[in-house]
Amino acid sequence: MARRNNAASAAGRRSQRGFMLIEVMVSMVVLMVGLVTLLGVFALALATTQTAQQDMIAKQLASEAMESVITARQTTELTWDSVQNQSASASGIFLDGFQPILNAGANGVVGTSDDSGARVLTLPGKDGIIGTSDDVTLPLTNYQRRVLISPVTDTTGNTLSDLRSVTITVQYAVPRTSVKKSYILTGYISQYR
């Protein structure tokens, strides 16, 4: 009977040994890999959230420029020949290359030579209402816009005189990095209203 008690007590000690040090180390490595991966995903989400406002502003600036091109075509004061870049036609009104974001000039069309004055964006303050004393102004000096109007050719290589391709590119630097991002909007405009 004494042998039985000794054998039972030895079996009990074996089942109560717990984890070995190597098992604990392996589980800690697996846990750390998971946590580091989760931290990387969190950092990426945070960076994306911080650039979301700049992305939205770039999209709106590109849309505004496209509307200006369409407005220039709709305006009876302007001819179809003037709805071009200055390098493409002597009567073209749209500036070539990247330009700073300025307020529209007397013609009401952005991206032309009569634009002036640095443009700012007014955002609501803590109260969420625009036009109160806590509004925040955001200068758009970080943005540049290019309006490129080019002729369209058909499948035989002939230029279509009544159709043009419009490509609006808004370029901006991401805060706290040296990375430049671009938002590109492309469309077509016809001579016919």
Q: Taking the chain, what is the end-to-end CA distance rounded to the nearest angstrom?
A: 108
- pLDDT computed for residue 49 by the predictor: 78
How far is Cα 182 from Cα 189, in angstroms, rounded to an integer? 22
Give the domain ranges of the chain: 23-101+141-190
CA distances from 123 to 47, 109, 131, 144, 152 (A): 21, 23, 9, 20, 39
Return the DSSP state at 78: S
Return the DSSP state at 77: T
Please answer whether residues 144 and 172 qualify as being in contact, where contact means their C-beta atoms are separated by less than 8 angstroms. yes
Supply 6's token pair.
Answer: 């000794």
Beta strands in the chain (DSSP E): 99-100, 102-103, 116-118, 120-123, 136-139, 143-153, 159-173, 180-190
Residue with the larger pLDDT of the pair 117 and 4: 117
Contacts of residue 4, defined as CB under 8 A and 6 or more positions apart, other chains included, come to none
Q: What is the pLDDT of residues 90-135, one digit of tens each?
A: 888 899 999 999 998 888 889 988 999 999 988 888 998 988 889 9
H or E element at residue 92 = none
Q: What is the pLDDT of residues 70-102, one digit of tens each?
A: 888 888 778 888 888 999 888 888 999 999 999
How far is Cα 167 from Cα 187, in angstroms, rounded to an integer? 7
39-43, 71-75, 184-188: range with highest mean pLDDT: 184-188
pTM of the predicted protein model: 0.73
CA distances from 110 to 125, 136, 171 (A): 27, 24, 16
Taking residue 182's Cβ as centre, other Cβ atoms within 10 Å add up to 12
